[in-house]
Every structure is written in structure tokens, then in C-alpha cells.
Amino acid sequence: MIRELTCIVCPKGCQLKVELEGKNILSVSGYTCKRGLAYAETECTAPMRTLTTTAPVEGGGVVPVKTDKPVPKELLFKCMEVVNSACVAKDAKLGDVVVENILDTGANIVTTRNVQL
Amino acid sequence: MKADLVIIGGGPAGMSAAVAAYDAGIRDIIILERDKSLGGILRQCIHNGFGLHRFKEELTGPEYAYRYELQVRERNIPFKLNTMVLDITPSKVVTAMNSEDGLFTIEAKAIILAMGCRERPKGALNICGRRPAGIFTAGTAQKFVNMNGYMPGKKVVILGSGDIGLIMARRMTLEGAEVKAVCELMPYSGGLARNIEQCLNDFSIPLMLSHTVVEIHGKERVTGVTIAKVDERRKPIPKTKQYIECDTLLLSVGLLPENELTKSANIILDRITGGAVVDQNRQTEIEGIFACGNVLHVHDLVDYVSEEAEIAGKAAAAFINGKHANDKSLKLVTDGKVRYTVPQCITACADVTVYFRVADVYRDVRIVVRDGDKVLVNKKKQKVAPGEMETVTLTKEMIEGVSTDTLSFSIEA
């Protein structure tokens, strides 16, 4: 089976073709960098995504956050539930950990700006 | 007040221009920003994908903005926040106001315009129906969700498949809304392929190409929209009409450079880009007034905005220091398939990267640059599309050797 993918690693958006036999990857073509090849491989076995969202701040308001590495795609909505019930300190700085090792993925939820401007 | 350099706008373009001018020796700089902090629109673009070119890593919008804010702060470059610029004159007098200083003027030696762009509003679309609550531009919805923590609606239709619309389709879905469809008038999306993949396909949101919204229903609040397929001339086909129940319509139908101030200085605008006509230094037709970033033409990536702003910042510094060469006069003309170029003219012999967009999707073509009959550049491309800015670099030697007064840019089979 041939699976066609659009690489999401960078804005170039290369069109990838992955030749599959069940779950085994026989060949990958269309990629123009190493990261594209790695993307094709994980996308066909265990797709991963970086989650970017906001988390509530103590006392009101929200602050932008992200997973500090990609998490399994099927866990995105579960991660959202965890993040939406978190509470970020008013004096949190960019990069502070909001949720450690979210859902045992090995990824932390970190803020992407200082709460105070 | 007087200043060597006034920069209007504290977003990515303004900050990058300020840093470049400072590093080229200019100290008397002031950035005027109307929002309550530096960073511009990046503050609400909380998704990742920024900075791969500049920083060789993937950053979110706020992180990218903060890197530049730190560079501004490290250099102690002054900026005024909550400050609205009201007018600029051809003699480079800037009138602005804020609640601390009141109304004030700055006589500048040079000005850099970095006001960014605005979303095309609903008024520009001529959709029938009432004017109920629940219609937002995608960027307004983005501000509500990402900055204020408010959800603008629960059942959403998005008109237009620009990147902000795609990003908001994912964002609203993650926050629990049901995004029923993204309708795109054109037969192709204006957004990046990666965003169609990770924002729509990941969540099984249908992208309906060659479709538009023909009617908005609801009196107090949007209750639904009628969409229809369009023919080759982009006219809705009546028998294809279908009703979609929704409470929110987001519009992602294009960005317009925000050039009210540019107009007030009587600077000529390019009819296609909506931004000023500039030379390779991003100088407008008025000496000492420069423009960069999305106020000049809408960019695909902030990395390119930063790059362009550096050119403007360096050139403004050279102008202030009286080092400004004008030893050539070339007009860049296009064939229509190339819609526009930035810069639109070249005034000095130097290496120049020309940025441009094409009018339609073309496959297996060549980008050709000619001086009269002489071909200077002949670059093969598998595919060019309106959503992706193209570049051609002309070397100093090429420009020196140009024998006519125009360079023509075309897309050929």
C-alpha cells in the first residue's frame, strides 16, 4: 500500500509517499530533509503532535502554553482536559513547567510567555 | 521632540528594524506601539512553526516575539507603548498621542513604517442576510480565545482557508467547538499545505474548495449559513445550495496592509500589494521613509518579515549617516502571471533578492527575468502558487550589466 502524506515539519510542506506492507515501511520518497524522513516514519507508526494551547492563570486570564516535545496525536484531547484544569502562578515566567510529564508521555506543559507583561 | 529614527509599530518588523538600525550605529531611536506590549500580532499566534529559518528551531508566536523583545531591551532601545500615531508628513514629522504624554510630535531624520496588516472585514464580502452576533474575523476569534480565554461560539463555519482560518479551525476544535466546514472560494487553499494537514485533516474537518457562503441566517445570533459551490467564474451555482446549522462564522479572507499613515504622507502605494512602492532598501519614494513587514506586502512567514525589516533598519541607518548610494535606476515590471514584485524598483548596484507572488497555480514552469531580450535568470519550478511567496536573487554584477531601464519578471512554460 502507498500512503501519501504532507510533511508538517516545516512550512515547505513536502508531499511524501510511503510504501507500506501492513505496518512495515518499505520505502519513503518525496522528502527533502532528514526531518521529513523521520516524520514519515513516525506518522505511519505512531503519529505525534506538539500541542499549543492556553492554561488558566491563578486569579483569572490565560497564558499560552505548549508541550515541550510532541505527544501522541490521539492524546491531544486528553491533554487539553488536563491543561484546562491546571492553574498557572501569576508570576510564572516563559518556559516554566505547568504540568510535568503530562499523561506519562514524557512531555511537560510549559508556558510560552511571561504571565506578567 | 526630535529623533534620528522613529519606528511606527512594535511588532516583529518594528523590533527587528530597530535592532538592525541600532547595530548599524544609530542610538537615537524610538519605537511607537499602540498595544500594551511589544510583539504585535505574534502575541496571539500561540501555535508553533515560527523561527525555523531565523533560529533553526520551532517556536510559538509569543516565544519568537520575546526573542526580539529581549534584543530591544538588551540595547535599551526606547519604546512607547499604548501610543497611537495619528499622522506623518512628507517632511517626516510624526504626530502621536498617549495618555501620559498627551498629543506630541517628533521631528525625525528617518521613519520606518512597520504597522503590519489588518484582516479583510465582512463588509468587503457582500454576503446577504442580517447582521447577527457571531460573525468574527478569524484573527478576532484568535484574540478572544488565546488572549482573553473566551470561546466565541460552539458550532463554527469558517469562510476562507488562509492560514489564520486553518489555525483557528484546530484551535476551536481543541477547545471543544465543532468546526463544521472550511469553505474556500478558490479551487485551491491559500494556506500552507502543512496547516491543511495538521489543522483540518487531523480533526477530519472538511475543506470545501470552490465553495462560498451565500447567506447568513439568524436575527440576534447566527443560526446557520447557506453555502454553495461556485463555477469557474466564482459565481454561486443555485442548485448546489446547502444549509449548515452553526452559531459562528469566522472569516479568513485575506489580509490588507494597514497604510492609512503612509497615505497621509502622500506616499504612492502599489495597487496590487496595497503597500508602498519601494526600492531594494525598502525606501519609499520619499527619501528617509522606509517600510517593512506586512505593511509593505503580506508575508507567509514571520522569519521573512524579520529579514526584510533588517534591510530597512540597516538602510535607514545608512541614510541617517549620509551613506546612501543611488547609482542605478531600474523599474521591475511583471507579466501578470507574476502579480507583483517587492522591491518595485532598484536604485543601486548591489545584490538584491526580489520577492514576488504569482496569480494562479502553475506547474512545471520557469521563472524568467529579462533585461530587454537578454535572459538574466531562468529558474525551473515544479509548482508555484499564490499562497507561497517566491524569490529570485539578482547579483550586483547582473544589475551593473543591465542595459535597459527595466527588468521584466515572467512565468513561462
From B270's Cα to the closest Cα of chain A, the distance in A is 27
Question: Can you tell me the distance from the alpha carbon of B297 to that of B305, in angstroms, rounded to the nearest whole number?
Answer: 10
* B-chain residues near A117 (CB < 8 A): 36-37
**Chain A residue numbers touching B175 (CB-CB < 8 A):** 53, 80
Q: Is the ipTM of this complex over 0.90?
A: yes
- Beta-carbon separation of B60 and A6 below 8 A: no
Instruction: Tell me which residues of chain B, numbers 299 to 328, contact chain A at a CB-CB cutoff of 8 Å.
Output: 300-301
| A11 with B146: Cβ contact below 8 A | no
Give the whole-angstrom CA distance, residue B340 versus residue B134. 36
Per-chain mean pLDDT for chain A = 94
State the nearest Cα–Cα gap between A19 and chain B, in angstroms: 19
Strands A109-111 and A62-67, by their bridges, are antiparallel
B70 lies within 8 A of chain A by CB: no
How far does A63 lie from chain B, in Å, by closest CA? 7
Fold of B1-119+254-324: FAD/NAD(P)-binding domain (3.50.50)
Query: What are the C-alpha distances in Å from A96 to residues A99, A112, B236, B262, B370?
Result: 9, 8, 51, 41, 54
Domains B1-119+254-324 and B121-253 share a fold: yes
The three cell numbers of residue B170 are: 484546530
Domain boundaries, chain B: 1-119+254-324, 121-253, 326-413
Spans of all domains in chain A: 2-45, 52-111
B31: helix, strand or coil: strand
Please count the other Cβ atoms lying within 10 Å of the Cβ belonging to residue B408.
Answer: 17
Closest CA to B89 of B266, B258, B295, B268: B266
For residue B34, the SS3 value is: coil
Instruction: Give A110's strand partners.
Output: A66, A97
| pLDDT-above-90 percentage for chain B | 90
At B343-353, the pLDDT tens digits run: 999 999 999 99
Written as one string, the DSSP assignment of A27-79 is EEES--SHHHHHHHHHHHHS-EE--EEEEEBTTS-EEEEEESS-EEGGGHHHH
Q: How far apart are CA B358 and CA B308, in angstroms?
A: 20
Nearest CA-CA distance, residue B48 and chain A, Å = 7
Higher-pLDDT residue of A22, B177: B177
Mean pLDDT of B324-329: 80
pLDDT value of residue B264: 94
Interface membership of A1 toward B (CB under 8 Å) = no
Q: Which of A117, A106, A22 is nearest to B62 (CA)?
A: A117
For residues A61 and B147, give the distance between their C-alpha atoms in angstroms, rounded to a whole number.
8
Radius of gyration over alpha carbons of chain A, in Å? 17
pTM as predicted: 0.94
Cα separation, B49 vs A7, in Å, equals 13
A77:B49 CB<8 A: no
Residues listed for chain A: 117
CB-based contact B36:B81 (threshold 8 Å)? yes
What CATH number was assigned to the domain covering residues B121-253? 3.50.50.60
CB A13 within 8 A of CB B194: yes
Contacts of A114 in chain B (CB under 8 A): 66
Give the gap in angstroms from C-alpha B69 to the nearest C-alpha of chain A. 11
Q: What pLDDT score does B326 carry?
A: 79
Helix (H, G, I), strand (E, B) or coil at B339: strand
Partner residue facing A11 (CB), from B145, B174, B194: B194
pLDDT band at B325 (very low <50, low <70, confident <90, very high): confident
In 3D space, the residue among A23, A14, A22, A82 whose CA is nearest the CA of residue A47 turns out to be A23
Considering only A7-16, B24-33, B290-299, which range has the smallest mean pLDDT?
A7-16
Amino acid at B145: V
What is the model's pLDDT at position B347?
94
Crossing angle for the helix pair A76-84 and B163-174, to the nearest 10 degrees: 70
Interchain contact, B66 vs A49, CB within 8 Å:
no
Greatest Cα pair distance, chain A, in angstroms, is 54
Find the CB nearest A11 among B66, B171, B192: B192
In chain B, residues with a C-beta closer than 8 Å to the C-beta of A42 are none
pLDDT of B122 above 90: no
Put simply, whether A56 touches B (Cβ < 8 Å) is: yes
- Residue of B194, B197, B361 to mutate, interface with A, max A Cβ within 10 Å: B194
Query: Which pLDDT value is given to residue B124?
Result: 64
Sequential DSSP letters for B118-164: EEPPGGGT--EE---B-EEEHHHHHHIIIII-----SEEEEE--SHH
Indicate the Cα dihedral angle B179, B185, B190, B196, nearest 10°. Answer: 30
Shortest CA distance from B44: residue in chain A? A64
Lowest pLDDT segment from A27-36, A68-77, B230-239? A27-36
Task: Give, in order, the Cα–Cα distances in Å from B126 to each of B91, B123, B271, B272.
Answer: 40, 6, 22, 21
How many CB pairs below 8 A link A and B?
74
* Strand ranges inside B262-389, DSSP E: 289-291, 330-334, 338-342, 345-346, 352-358, 362-371, 374-384
The CA radius of gyration of chain B, in Å to the nearest whole number, is 22
Of the candidates A50, A54, A94, the beta carbon closest to that of B149 is on A54
pLDDT 10s digits, B98-120:
999 999 999 999 999 999 999 99
Residue B126 binned pLDDT confidence (cut-offs 50, 70, 90): confident
Q: What's the whole-number average pLDDT of chain B?
A: 95
C-alpha to C-alpha distances, B378 to B205, B242, B345, B354, B381, nearest whole angstrom = 40, 47, 20, 14, 10
CATH architecture of A52-111: Roll (3.10)
Model confidence pLDDT, tens digit, residues B39-92: 999 999 999 999 999 999 999 999 999 999 999 999 999 999 999 999 999 999
Distance CA B332, CA B394 (A): 12
Q: Does B123 touch chain A (CB under 8 A)?
A: no
Q: Which of B18, B40, B61 lies closest to B303 in space, CA to CA?
A: B61
Inter-chain residue contact A61 with B146, CB threshold 8 Å:
no
Give the pLDDT confidence score for residue A23 in this predicted structure.
80
Q: Are the C-beta atoms of residues B313 and B16 closer than 8 Å to each other?
A: yes
CB contact (8 A) between residue A15 and residue B197: no
DSSP code at position B306:
H
Query: Do the chains contact at B197 and A6, CB–CB below 8 Å?
Result: yes
